[in-house]
Amino acid sequence: MFFHRAAHPSADTTAVVASAAGTRTLLYSLVILIVTGGIQIIIVYVSGSLALFADTLHNFSDALTSIPLWIAFRLALLPPTRRFTLGYGRFEDLAGVLILLIILFSAGVCTYESIMRLLYPQPITHLGWVVLAAIVGFLGNEWVARIRLKTGREMNSAALIADGQHARIDAWTSLAVLGSSLGVILGFPIIDTVVGLGMSAMILYIVWESGKSILLQLLDGVDPKVVDQILRILAESHISPKAVHDVRVRWVGHVMQAELHIHFPPTESIGEIPKLQHRLLHRFQEDFPSLKSLSIVAI
């Protein structure tokens, strides 16, 4: 059995550039959300709107999720050590779990406040300011969602994509606050509390959807289409599917690693295998730019 491994220099450069891009994106979004939340919290204090309180709480929790992810991206730039021989990419996946817990906490607080408001109704004032705060919340969150999702998809970062989806739902909930304010203006103050409960349910939906992809990645799971694409590329390279005994792929943070177990005929020269490996690495990176390393176990 022969074991060959190749890591393309451009893949390392791509990983570094991606981590730096993720860091910048998180810094920009943190500033935007702090400014947005600061404007809203003042209006919450003046108006007493529960729906706006839920939206503001969500904005601040979204800002907090930037911190662990920012730390993870910074760690990803560090070289491997004798203890962490594969680097620190897995910290990004752990940051994704922490993000989910923060989002879940905000859902719990929002639900509690909604129930308390049903039991002990309070008047809502300064509705014009509430409308303005809802519009500010929508613009700020939509801006953050766009830059997070764009960078997250370019990096193939499940955690950053989850953070972007979180911000996108926040933008929609800001529009819901706008709707609840109009309901109060029309004489239906209960709508404010109903919207608060509705946003709690929406937050839980985010946790469920984002949690599935993050948990899958933590368990080294991948989309089966990735394996199908690898097998197709191998077939194009004149490697019979029957000769491929194992295709192992996993994500470590936003970096992909692949290992192939291939049966080569006895007549195959050992010296040809590294050449094949480099050709495959170049070919795979056309479809999977985040692929950092490719290992071939020759059987």
Looking up residue 284, the CATH number of its domain turns out to be 3.30.70.1350
Q: Per-residue confidence at 115, pLDDT binned at 50, 70, 90?
A: confident
Per DSSP bridges, beta strands 291-298 and 255-262 are parallel
- Say if residues 23 and 70 touch (Cβ distance below 8 Å): yes
Task: Tell me the pTM.
Answer: 0.65
**CA-to-CA distance for 66 and 71, rounded, in angstroms?**
9
Both 271 and 201 in a single domain?
no
- Say if residues 273 and 3 touch (Cβ distance below 8 Å): no
pLDDT of 258 above 70: yes
pLDDT of 29 above 70: yes
Both 179 and 231 in a single domain?
no
Which residues is 296 bridged to in the sheet? 4, 260
Both 161 and 264 in a single domain?
no
Q: Which of 66-80, 166-180, 206-220 has the lowest mean pLDDT?
A: 166-180
DSSP code of 79?
Answer: P
Both 84 and 230 in a single domain?
no
Q: pLDDT tens digit string along 267-281?
A: 555 666 677 777 777
Residue 6: alpha-carbon gap to chain centroid: 28
Both 60 and 108 in a single domain?
yes
Domain boundary among 218, 250, 282: 218
Q: pLDDT tens digit string along 211-256?
A: 888 888 888 888 888 888 888 888 887 777 677 788 888 888 777 8
Residue 51 confidence (pLDDT):
61
Q: pLDDT tens digit string along 38-60?
A: 887 887 777 766 666 766 776 77
Residue 4 confidence (pLDDT):
44
Amino acid at 40: Q
From first CA to last CA, the distance across the chain in angstroms is 5
Residue 14 confidence (pLDDT):
47
pLDDT of 33 above 60: yes
- Written as six digits, the tokens of 63 are 């800002």
Per DSSP bridges, beta strands 244-252 and 291-298 are unpaired
Domain boundary among 218, 249, 283: 218
- Written as six digits, the tokens of 290 are 């985040």
Q: Per-residue confidence at 292, pLDDT binned at 50, 70, 90?
A: confident
Total domains in the fold of the chain: 2
**CA-to-CA distance for 25 and 160, rounded, in angstroms?**
9
**CA-to-CA distance for 49 and 177, rounded, in angstroms?**
9
- Written as six digits, the tokens of 133 are 């705060």
Task: Look up tokens 């220099």; give the residue.
Answer: 9
Both 175 and 230 in a single domain?
no
Residue 123 confidence (pLDDT):
61
Structural domain for 185, as ranges = 2-218
The vertex-162 CA angle with 203 and 116, nearest 5°, equals: 15
Domain boundary among 194, 218, 242: 218
**CA-to-CA distance for 127 and 135, rounded, in angstroms?**
13
- Say if residues 12 and 292 touch (Cβ distance below 8 Å): yes
